[in-house]
Amino acid sequence: MNPALETLMLAIATDEALAVPQAALFIGAEAHPTLSAWPEITGWQPFKPLATTWDQAGFNRCEMIPDQKWPLVIVLPGKSRDETFAWFAMARDHLEPGGKLVVSMPNTAGAGRFEKELAKATRNITSLQKHKCRAFHVTLDDSWDEAIFNEWRDLGTPRQIPQTAFTVEAGIFSSDHIDPGSQLLADHLPAHWHGDLADLGAGWGFLTDAILKRCPKVARIDLYEADSRALACARKNLAAYPHEIGYHWHDVTTGLPRSYDAILMNPPFHIGQATHVDLGRVFLKTAADSLKRGGKLILVANRQLPYEAVLEANGLLWRKVVEDKVYKILSAEKR
Ligand SMILES: C[S@@+](CC[C@H](N)C(=O)[O-])C[C@H]1O[C@@H](n2cnc3c(N)ncnc32)[C@H](O)[C@@H]1O
């Protein structure tokens, strides 16, 4: 159960001002059984596993939000400040006059602070607290401070990481700096890799960029990434390379469609706020299953993560390339 989603559904069920509308837009859509009884709901969800669950529940989903207005827009933000404000602005742009914007988020994600900011911009707000979350809603009228929404809208536009040419967007992994673990891996990549490669959890393309710079004989590289916004940034960041590059909006935990000569990755081990070592383990297993015999793997991980045993259990011979106070680089070969 996602407590923010439960709180949201409770607010809609119990607050008379929030009667089920004829149509609604759900930004950051997550499936809930109650929504099946709604006349029409359109979801937008950039994270592939959640988008798949939404689709499987039979709801309508858009890849890009159409230029359309709704009487109700629901926002279930992630954990990034800029993304949350940008989603408030996105919601505002899709509200019809008199329409309602409902937000729900955990207290640990700063719900109280975001509620106050939204109240400043809209001058009216109703709030419900439950499950250590807050659901709050506002009604669009002429009193809304459009200057604040303009500032928030800007937070959602693609931007560059300072002192680099890399394009990023609020809410994606390492959206304002290069991740130090990824940088350590980039500094220790082999120079002789060739053939078909894959980058698992490729983000906005930092590691693919590094390996293509380091290994001129790479024939093709496939990026697998769950966040569609990160993948869109990767397309821009890698556009100048002449190589064959595949961009896949894909949940790596479901396996890969083909096998590779070499794989590189900085595997995720967080889902939302929580640490999930299992997610990293499944990434390692997917990599092991998708390497050809003799295929190579290189990855970076936090030092304390027990990935050596996972590599061994999946038939890979491994060695530690380097470690610092926080990270280790592991290299492995499929027997
Ligand atoms: C630690 S980041 C590394 C990003 C990038 N490779 C870099 O080094 O900057 C892990 C990436 O995995 C992605 N991710 C998380 N869960 C995923 C899944 N189930 N399938 C594919 N990608 C996933 C995240 O969106 C994130 O971009």
> Is 207's C-beta closer than 6 angstroms to any atom of ligand 1?
yes
Expressed in angstroms and rounded, the spacing between residue 226 Cα and the centre of ligand 1 is: 7
- The phi and psi torsions of 54 (rounded to 5 degrees) equal -60, -50
If you take atom 12 of ligand 1, which residue's CA is the nearest one?
Answer: 201
Q: Is 251 in the pocket of ligand 1 (CB under 6 A)?
A: yes
**CATH architecture under which domain 3-155 falls:** 3-Layer(aba) Sandwich (3.40)
Q: What is the pLDDT of residue 273?
A: 43
User: Within its chain, how far is the Cα of 292 from the centroid?
Assistant: 29
Q: What is the pLDDT of residues 263-295, one digit of tens each?
A: 999 999 765 544 567 899 999 999 999 999 999
Does the beta carbon of 230 lie inside 6 Å of ligand 1?
yes
How distant, in Å, are the alpha carbons of 94, 195, 231 from that of 211?
41, 12, 17
Pocket lining: 253 vs ligand 1, CB cutoff 6 Å: yes
Mean of pLDDT values over 125-149: 96
Token representation of residue 197: 């490669």
- What CA–CA distances, in Å, run from 57 to 22, 61, 75, 78? 19, 11, 19, 21
Nearest residue (by CA) to ligand 1, atom 8, is 182
| Nearest alpha carbon, ligand 1 atom 27 | 203
Q: What percent of the chain has pLDDT over 90?
A: 92
C-beta 224 within 6 A of ligand 1? yes
- Structure-model confidence comparison of residues 335 and 324, the more confident one: 324
Q: Is the pLDDT of residue 127 over 50?
A: yes
Q: 268 CB under 6 A from ligand 1? A: yes
Q: From ligand 1's centre to the CA of 230, what distance in Å?
A: 9
Distance of CA 118 to the CA centre of its chain: 23
The closest residue, in CA terms, to atom 19 on ligand 1 is 251
> 3-155 and 172-334 share one CATH topology?
yes
User: Does ligand 1 lie within 6 Å of residue 247's CB atom?
Assistant: no
Q: How many angstroms is it from 188 CA to the middle of ligand 1? A: 19
What mean pLDDT is predicted for residues 209-227?
96
> According to the model, what pLDDT value does residue 124 have?
83
Cα of 44 to ligand 1 centre, how many Å? 19
Give me ligand 1 centre to Cα 142, in Å: 41
pLDDT in tens, 20-65: 888 999 999 999 999 999 999 999 999 999 999 999 999 999 999 9
Nearest protein Cα to ligand 1, atom 13: 201
- Residue of the CA atom closest to atom 3 of ligand 1: 266
CB of 205 shorter than 6 A to ligand 1: no
Mutate-to-test residue for ligand 1 from 188, 224, 266, 269, highest number of ligand atoms within 8 A of CB: 266
3-state secondary structure of 264: strand
Please provide the average confidence, as pLDDT, over all residues in the chain: 95
Please name the amino acid found at residue 174: S
- Token pair in block for residue 297: 């793997």
Name the residue ranges covered by the structural domains of the chain. Answer: 3-155, 172-334
**8 A C-beta contact, residue 102 and residue 137:** yes
Q: Tokens 């120079």, residue?
A: 191
| CATH superfamily, region 172-334 | Vaccinia Virus protein VP39 (3.40.50.150)
pLDDT at 229: 97
| The two three-digit tokens of residue 99, written as one number | 């329409």
**Chain segment 168-191, per-residue pLDDT in tens:** 999 999 999 999 999 999 999 999
* Eight-class DSSP state of 254: G
Q: Which tens digit of pLDDT belongs to each residue from 83-98?
A: 999 999 999 999 999 9
CA dist 150 and 155 (Å) reads 9
Sign of the C-alpha dihedral computed for residues 230, 235, 238 and 244 taken in this order? positive
Q: Using DSSP, state whether 276 is helix, strand or coil.
A: coil
Residue nearest to atom 10 of ligand 1 (CA): 268
Q: Which residue's alpha carbon is at the smallest distance from atom 15 of ligand 1?
A: 268
What's the pLDDT at 271?
54
